[in-house]
Structure 1
């Protein structure tokens, strides 16, 4: 776990070998007997997910968030995943799906991340087991160019539910605040928009195209060296939309811990499974930070903000702080 030499302004989370050994003691290692619900809640399980899923309590999960290895050859800091034939990737996907299904409540929702290639397989398989509600596409922003093809700048997230009608979807919790280009008024008053200290905005219903999430990078405190880390803001959309405070969220491929961290910040419970010790140590350290700081970049004032609208968020936060201070002094 030798640390890279980084620029002074680089905020990427790291752990030393000594720190990692302490953090890993708090993980639940390789359970080999059925876990009671209280034993599993808010735990990071250090194990292969195909083993650990067998020991989790059935009918306990409200929300399943899955970011499995895509069908690409990639080295996850010593744990290598090799690209395979479509039929073999289908078998891999079906295997973890069938282990997760008994764990879900009848009202549970499922989100599965994938690239465009694995999306063709995952979407078809989800349709065999669940009610597919939507396919979300989100703009990654990053991505290498290609000389003979289009640059891959988008990824999919499949949204499905166990039940056709009995599931959670909190529309008001996931609205997006967008700048108003043409501030139309009716009878001299704003129509469907509001004026704040940061400008004129409209809180809009979310679509299945998410263009406001930024891949974590060196200046963001949530950033780690995980090769496929998802933004907290991205996961927060799924968590707020499809669970309620106190609900239990399972991530069987936890990686650097984003789902667990977001669950904690948003007052949900979690179970995360990860086989890489370094990633578990990162996740534990991020959870410790979440105990002191529950902010999620791009989410404030109860809404999701457009990408690169930080100045507007600060203006609103400042105005809110001033109003709260005035109220304190008045009392």
Structure 2
């Protein structure tokens, strides 16, 4: 990652300065056989290979597992590279760490794992060995290259599962507020499942497993980093709000630039993340520090998720006050 490259004046991508690297490197944790038993496993970023760190973590301390592992394709992550392998070899790789993660989960824990359409069958195969599969979420990522010989790939999957039949799911926390374009009224002329506000007519809808309201982080968003596969805070917020309660422990063994930990902090959860790349781990700590003064999650306000590229009433009010 090159924080010194020339960027447009209105580019808000987060970068690390030399001072940032020195400051946030000191906050990173590295586990050993000697220090693991004395470590407090709460609100920390572990700078280490996941395969080295996982055996040193305590058993049954995680309420919610969120995993965005490397997909089964060639991808450069700063100083490391993940290469494409056969579906069978990718399953073996998935099982090598998932089998270790299970030990860390509480009996009523929930888990979400991200993947693309090519790796989804392998992910399901391994995921279903350890979890009761509850749903496959498909979310629309509006970015993506077009093709003259194939359909543009504009979606990714998230498998949702639980360890047991007893688990937490808060449907009220993840409802979507949508603008009503063709309002329907009952026989008495009363609004049917919608309400009028100063900013228009809106309907509160139940969440489904098809998410079309997600914006991929880009250069004008304050959460954007140079990580090549960064997930949006709004996407992780849906998972955290639905499947954990305030104070619960959220764990991500492939933390990247820190989105899972940052969202957990903004939503009053505890967090532990593992990231092997020092640059990304430091970026995670910088984002966690900024979360104290920037607690907002773009696209989520007033207890509701809003449609993509729309402003909530709170955001509109703030914009008007800023004029």
Q: TM-score, normalised by structure 1?
A: 0.92
How far apart, in 2, do the equivalents of 1:204 and 1:317 lie?
Answer: 25
Matching residue of 2:192? 191
SS in 2 for 1:8: coil
Using the TM superposition, name which of 151-160 and 190-199 deviates more. 190-199
Bigger shift: residues 178-187 or 16-25: 178-187
CA gap 1:116/1:252 in 2 versus in 1, 3 angstroms: same
1:233 aligns with 2:245: no
Query: How many residues are aligned here?
Result: 319
Moved more, 33-42 or 237-246: 33-42
Task: Check the 8 A contact 1:115/1:155 in 2, yes or no.
Answer: yes
Q: 1:104 to 1:311 in 2, by over 3 A?
A: closer
Instruction: Show the 5 A alignment for 1:236-315.
Output: 236-310=237-311, 312=313, 314-315=315-316
The Cα of 1:95 is off from its aligned counterpart by: 0.8
Partner of 2:172: 172
1:271-311 Cα shifts (integer Å, max 9, x gaps): 00000010011111100110111100000010000011126
Distance 2:103 2:173 in 1: 28
Equivalents in 2 of 1:69, 1:62: separation in Å?
Answer: 23
Q: Contact 1:199–1:312 (CA<8 Å) still a contact in 2?
A: no
> Does structure 2 retain, via aligned residues, the 8 Å contact 1:34–1:56?
no
Tell me how far apart the structure 1 counterparts of residues 64 and 35 of structure 2 sit (CA, whole Å): 20
Q: RMSD between aligned alpha carbons?
A: 1.7
Q: Which consecutive unaligned segments of at least 5 residues does structure 1 have?
A: 322-331
Quick one: distance in 1 between partners of 2:14 and 2:318?
A: 26
User: For residue 160 of structure 1, what is the aligned residue in structure 2?
Assistant: 161
What do residues 222-269 of structure 1 show as CA deviations (whole Å, max 9, x unaligned)? 000000000000000000000000000000000000000000000000
SS in 1 for 2:118: helix
CA distance in 1, matches of 2:39, 2:205: 39
Give the equivalent residue in structure 2 for 1:11: 12
Q: C-alpha separation between the residues in 2 aligned to 1:196 and 1:37? A: 54
Structure 1 position 126, deviation (Å)? 1.1
1:159 alignment partner, SS class? strand
Counterpart Cα distance in 2 of 1:31 and 1:264: 26
Aligned twin of 1:128: 129
Do structure 1's residue 116 and structure 2's residue 117 form an aligned pair?
A: yes
Q: Report the alpha carbon displacement of residue 185 of structure 1 after superposing the two structures with TM.
A: 2.8
Give the alignment of 1:98-109 within 5 angstroms: 98-109=99-110
Measure how far apart 1:23 and its partner are.
0.6
1:10-33 deviations in Å (ceiling 9; x for gaps): 000001123212111101024334
Q: What is the match of residue 65 of structure 1?
A: 66
- Aligned structure 1 segments of 4 or more residues deviating by more than 4 angstroms: 316-319
Residue of structure 2 in register with 1:83 after alignment: 84
Q: TM-score by structure 2 length?
A: 0.95
In the other structure, the counterpart of 2:46 is 45
Looking at structure 2, the residues matched to 32 and 79 of structure 1 have their Cα atoms a distance apart, in angstroms, of 25
Displacement after TM superposition at 1:193 (Å): 1.1
Q: Cα deviation per residue 1:99-156 (whole Å; 9 max; x = unaligned)?
A: 1001001110000000001111001111111100000000010011223221111000
**Could you tell me how far apart the structure 2 residues matched to 1:13 and 1:130 are?**
36
Work out the CA distance in 2 between the residues paired with 1:160 and 1:65: 11
2:202 maps to 201
* Gap regions ≥5 residues in structure 2: none
2:144 counterpart residue number? 143
